A = this chain, B = another copy of it.
Amino acid sequence: MFRAGLRTPTAGWCRGWTQANLIAVPSDLAYDMLLYAQRNPKACPLLDVGDTGSVSTPLMSGDLRTDVPAYRVFENGELIDEPDDVCAAWRDDLVAFLIGCSFTFEAALLDAGLPVRHLEQGVNVPMYVTSVPSRPAGRLAGPLVVSMRPFRAKDVAKAVAVTSRYPAVHGAPVHVGDPEAIGIMTLGRPDHGDAVEVRADEVPVFWACGVTPQAAVVASRPPFAIGHAPGHMVVTDARDTDYVVPLT
């Protein structure tokens, strides 16, 4: 359906199948990106890395140029296009990185009786560019990006516990409450995705987000990069259960 042109956020889609963030950079920047991911494991848990020029990976047997609902194309850190496919923009020297996505643990949150607001509202998850720097690697540096889900104060500990078991897909939150402490002045105006309701008895809980490498691209201005449109993820052939630490 995505290949045929459907453009939609993928939260809640294909339950049980692992979704991933995409960042593809020219091979001469690939070491820096691989190191950036290693140095920022909460934001950039790597699920798979393609060979140079390859449009598929072991975890994603389709075509990375067409099978994502929407893309972002960057030149010198500027967003120049948000196409439905990147057949025209793709280059033979690109290395594709697939990075874990917090959508994986949302099913576990639901299973634990914790409603996920953006799923209830049928919108994209809200994401924010924070004032927290990521750890630089080579030519790449930039701010941490987070996703936010509100929970009642009594449910925060359970949300922490459930997501802690998924270190390969961002794991435990990086910040609970106090949005201004990480530079988020207005919860109602996310930098990516959609605003969601945060009720009076709820605390905003923030998880590191796989859009962080795109923020590094914007901040560091490499000549070229392709990412997914935030919230419009790569649906992989992996299962969410592959990434949970068993509670034994």
Chain A interface (Cβ within 8 Å of chain B)?
30-31, 34-35, 37-39, 46, 49, 157, 160-161, 164-165, 167-168, 172, 245-248
> How many copies of this kind of chain does the complex include?
2
Most chain B CB within 10 A, of A34, A39, A161, A168, is at A34
Residues in B whose Cβ lies below 8 Å from that of A38: 34, 37-38, 46, 49
The answer to whether B245 and A245 have CB atoms under 8 Å apart is yes
B49 contacts A164, C-beta separation under 8 Å: no
Q: Which residues of B contact A157 (CB under 8 A)?
A: 248
CB closest residue in chain B, given A243: B167
Closest CB in chain B relative to A242 CB, distance in Å:
12
- Kindly state the separation between the CA atoms of A39 and B50 in the bound complex, as whole angstroms: 10
| Chain B positions within 8 Å of A49 at CB level | 35, 38-39
Across the interface, A164 reaches (CB within 8 A) one of B34, B161, B246, namely B246
Residue of B nearest to A157 (CB): B248
Known contacts A35-B49, A49-B39; is-contact A248 B30 (Cβ 8 Å): no
Verify A164–B30 contact, CB threshold 8 A. Answer: no
Q: Is the CB of B35 within 8 A of A246?
A: no
| Cα–Cα, bound, A168→B168 (Å) | 10
Is the CB–CB distance between B246 and A161 below 8 Å? yes
Query: In the complex the two chains form, is B245's CB within 8 Å of A164's CB?
Result: yes
Residue of B nearest to A165 (CB): B245
Q: Which residues of B contact A164 (CB under 8 A)?
A: 245-246, 248
Q: A160–B248 contact, CB under 8 A?
A: yes
Q: A38-B38, A245-B245, A247-B247 are in contact. List 20 more A-B contacts (CB 8 A).
A: A30-B31, A31-B31, A31-B34, A34-B34, A34-B35, A34-B38, A35-B49, A37-B38, A38-B46, A39-B49, A157-B248, A160-B248, A161-B246, A164-B245, A164-B246, A164-B248, A165-B245, A167-B167, A167-B168, A172-B246
